[in-house]
Structure 1
Amino acid sequence: MAKKAQISEKDIVTFYMDYVLEHNEKPSSVYSFAKANNFEESKFYEFFGSFEAIEKHIFKVFFDNSMLALNNSAEFQKFDARNKLLSFYFTFFENLTANRSYVLHALNEHKNALKNLAVLANIRKPFTQFIKDLDIETIDIKQEQLQNFQNRALQESAWIQFLLTIKFWMDDTSPSFEKTDIYIEKSVNTSFDVLNVVPLKSVIDFGKFIFKEKMHMN
């Protein structure tokens, strides 16, 4: 049988995700993967250097598709920072949920949690840039060095919050992942309330929610 001449990046990603879902593991080699899908091995390397590169790319596609949908929304452009961040979370997790079986495999592949997080490497920079572009109002510090430190701390804490939300979603077994929706709303609102030095009611409310859910999951 003649090899497929026209193979796109999207084709290879689709083949890879299908293989992982059907076999519950990654292919043993690029050669066997290309042979199973009837294309030349060299075509694979036109787009990716390894299977690990594909895995990182897939999560970047989830992120890019989420941002594209948001940026094409006239309503989104009118939102304040808080609602833009909420919209991002809900849109991104819709994409994850649509591909939940693959995502759970990719983020549980290794016993070492840090190795699993490596697949998210390609979205860390665009995510923190998104947080920066939100221009979230913080305490006005006149000293430039301290202001820069505060801004970096805000971006890093947002990234950690993002990772924790992914972990919560992975453990969530509620219908339509409704508890993840609650988690997102409470965590984002709490973050903004703390930044704006609003009374601690929402912080306490969020704490009670997390405690209750963790007790239930355990």
Structure 2
Amino acid sequence: MATTKKTTKKEKLTRERLIALYMDQVLETGTTPKNIYKFTKDNNLKEEDFYSFFGSFAALQKGVWERFFEHTTEVMQKSEEYSGFSAREKLLTFYYTFFEILSANRSYVLFSLKQEKGALKKLQQLTGLRKRVKEFSRDLIRESRFAEEERTIKTPGSAFAEATWLQLLFLLKFWMDDSSLQFEKTDVAIEKSVNTVFDLFDTTALERVLDFGKFIWKEKMA
């Protein structure tokens, strides 16, 4: 989701372009636009152009996160190997790709999340993303066909979907605080947390949880 210049009257406005204009203005001014009229005027748009895609700034902010998700799945689908991945591998691929996209838009993401007070799970701008992520995780369960050496997921689809969402929130908070080179510690957290979720009811679950817990403890105490 690259930055873009202000729209001229000759250019066709799209949902993605409107999102990019909004993100640019937020980063350039250090604040959210005061109202839709001023935002559209500043970007050479008509007010009705905005309402062709979103009913409010709140809806647009949700749209930003939904676009991050869409971009992630588009990138994954371009890989010829992806369709043959196990559920575990697909979830790992999703997280790695999603956080690469967030890292490319880190300034906006940090601004938007830190601007709102309260826990991440209560933020309205993430509600659309939550729905998409839970649908994605349910699809993983439905299509899962593990190799003989892999263990069957024993967690019901709905519980797995909720666990995946909470896992993403944890990783998001971890990534926000991560100052390691190229966010290498976030990559480690992704791998360990995915293995923990998939092995939650397995005989090795306790071992995974302890390993993951030790990792988190070291990071928080460093």
So what's the TM-score if we normalise by structure 1? Answer: 0.87
Aligned twin of 2:153: 138
Provide the secondary structure at the position in 1 that maps to 2:179.
coil
> CA separation in 2, counterparts of 1:197 and 1:29?
55
Report if the CA contact (8 A) 2:15-2:53 is conserved: yes
1:187 equivalent in alignment to 2:187 = no
1:169 equivalent in alignment to 2:184 = no
The 1:210/1:80 distance shift into structure 2, 3 A limit, reads same
- 1:53 corresponds, among 59, 68, 83, to 59
- 2:83 corresponds, among 69, 77, 85, to 77
Runs of 4+ with >4 A deviation: none
Q: Deviations along 1:127-152, whole A, 9 cap, x unmatched?
A: 1111111126333xxxxxxx8xx332
Aligned twin of 1:4: 9
Q: Deviations along 1:93-142, whole A, 9 cap, x unmatched?
A: 00000000001111111122358622111121221111111126333xxx
Report if the CA contact (8 A) 2:192-2:212 is conserved: yes
Q: Deviations along 1:177-216, whole A, 9 cap, x unmatched?
A: 0000000011111222223332633221111110111112
Letter in 1 for 2:190: I
1:210 equivalent in alignment to 2:216 = yes
The 1:47/1:199 distance shift into structure 2, 3 A limit, reads closer
Gaps of 5+ in 2: 1-7, 145-151
- 2:165 corresponds, among 148, 155, 159, to 159
Q: Deviations along 1:34-61, whole A, 9 cap, x unmatched?
A: 1111111111111111111111101111
Q: CA RMSD in A?
A: 1.8
So what's the TM-score if we normalise by structure 2? Answer: 0.86
Report if the CA contact (8 A) 1:107-1:116 is conserved: no
Provide the secondary structure at the position in 1 that maps to 2:199.
helix
Aligned twin of 1:35: 41
Letter in 1 for 2:153: T
Gaps of 5+ in 1: 140-146
- 2:21 corresponds, among 5, 8, 15, to 15
Letter in 2 for 1:14: A
Provide the secondary structure at the position in 2 that maps to 1:138.
coil
Superposed, 1:79-98 pairs within 5 Å as 79-98=85-104
Report if the CA contact (8 A) 2:121-2:169 is conserved: no
User: CA shift at 1:29, angstroms?
Assistant: 0.7
Q: Percent identity?
A: 47
Report if the CA contact (8 A) 1:193-1:199 is conserved: yes
Q: Which structure is higher in helix share?
A: 1
1:62 equivalent in alignment to 2:68 = yes
